[in-house]
Amino acid sequence: MTQPPALLRPASLHIDGIDVALRPSHAGRFILRVGRGTGEARLSMPARATRAEAERFLRAHRDWLKARIAAAPGPAPFAPGSLVPLRGVPHLLRLDPFRRKGPVLAARETLHVPGPPEGFAEVLGDWLKAEARKDLAEAVGRHARALGVAPGRITLRDPRTRWGSCAAKGGLSFSWRLILAPPEILDYVAAHECAHLVEFDHGPGFWALVRRLRPDHERAEDWLRAQGADLQRYGRTPGA
């Protein structure tokens, strides 16, 4: 079968110093987006579109593209003195060099990170992932019991665009960054993926299960659309 020309590798274009990722789309038109939190540019393109057409589209919209990237907040590395949200509440990061080992200590909206400065980001990142796993395990267990299903293994990853996924064999995967969001957002994503253990598609039956578990699910979806991209900034360094 002849493949459409849209996504011949590499699946990106470089224009005026900006890398733009190319993605296939079922839409019949080009759609250019810039991540509000990351400043990453992505162009969704029709399956039959060519790279030359994509480049012409980008050149026609480069002023808009540059303005949106310039307005993006940019990465927020884990560093002493910066702020990071934990369960939706901003926390100040502090280095605690006198505690060489041990967990991060959360107190009075401050996170005290032990160890030497060079290990600061890794220690904090590992702790946040452990907290995410703990919260997700509790939420998944609760929602799975309500549905009478047995979830598979829970995996944490760091995807750019998805908050959770459900494998055909019942394994559940989540973004560790959900620990940065308010608790009801993490709980909604856990409920969403647990509902997939019963209804694998997004049909009426699936959404009925989601409403049963989270009657306020639309509010959580709105939050993710409006605020979710901002969570992608934290812990990243420029160019990462």
What is residue 2's predicted lDDT score, i.e. its pLDDT? 37
> How far is C-alpha 114 from the geometric centre of its chain's CA atoms?
27
What is residue 4's predicted lDDT score, i.e. its pLDDT? 39
- Rounded Cα distance between 186 and 178, Å, is 5
- pLDDT tops 70 at residue 38: no
- Percent of the chain clearing pLDDT 90 (strictly above): 64
Provide the number of structural domains found in the chain: 2
What is residue 216's predicted lDDT score, i.e. its pLDDT? 95
- pLDDT tops 90 at residue 105: no
Tokens of 43: 């162009």
**Domain match, 38 and 110 both:** no
Higher per-residue pLDDT: 18 or 77: 77
Alpha-helix residue ranges (DSSP H) falling in the chain = 51-60, 62-71, 120-147, 183-196, 204-213, 217-231
- Rounded Cα distance between 45 and 24, Å, is 5
**Domain match, 16 and 87 both:** no
**Domain match, 46 and 126 both:** no
Residue type, 228: G
What is residue 240's predicted lDDT score, i.e. its pLDDT? 58
Average pLDDT over residues 93-107: 83
**Domain match, 222 and 115 both:** yes
Unique residue bearing structure tokens 């979710």: 228
Least confident of 4-18, 44-58, 159-173, 189-203: 4-18
**Domain match, 214 and 108 both:** yes
Answer whether residue 237 is part of any domain. no
What are the tens digits of pLDDT across the range 180-205? 999 999 999 999 999 999 999 999 99
Q: Is the bond preceding 10 in cis, omega lying within 30 degrees of 0?
A: yes
Higher per-residue pLDDT: 225 or 173: 173
Tokens of 91: 């926390």
The pLDDT confidence band at residue 37, using thresholds 50, 70 and 90, is: low
| Residue environment code for 51-73, b if the CB has 16+ CB neighbours within 10 A, otherwise e | beebeebbeeeeeebbebbeebe
Answer whether residue 239 is part of any domain. no
| Residue environment code for 177-188, b if the CB has 16+ CB neighbours within 10 A, otherwise e | bbbbbbebbbbb
What are the tens digits of pLDDT across the range 191-240? 999 999 999 999 999 999 999 999 999 999 999 988 998 899 999 876 55
According to DSSP, residue 152 is labeled -
Unique residue bearing structure tokens 């079968």: 1
Burial of 222 (0-12, 13-18, 19+ CB in 10 A): exposed
Expressed in angstroms, the distance from the first to the final Cα of the chain is 36
∠ CA 148-149-153, rounded to 5°: 150
Residues in the chain: 240
**CA nearest neighbour of 198 among 162, 144, 154:** 144
- Percent of the chain clearing pLDDT 70 (strictly above): 93
**Domain match, 179 and 213 both:** yes
In 10 A of CB 107, how many CB atoms?
9
3-state secondary structure of 179: helix
Mean pLDDT of the chain: 89
- Rounded Cα distance between 181 and 225, Å, is 12
Answer whether residue 14 is part of any domain. yes
What is residue 7's predicted lDDT score, i.e. its pLDDT? 35
What is residue 237's predicted lDDT score, i.e. its pLDDT? 79
Range of the domain at 50: 5-71
pTM of the model: 0.76
Higher per-residue pLDDT: 71 or 18: 18
- pLDDT tops 80 at residue 8: no
**Domain match, 38 and 87 both:** no
- pLDDT tops 50 at residue 6: no
**Domain match, 42 and 156 both:** no
Answer whether residue 172 is part of any domain. yes
The pLDDT confidence band at residue 137, using thresholds 50, 70 and 90, is: very high
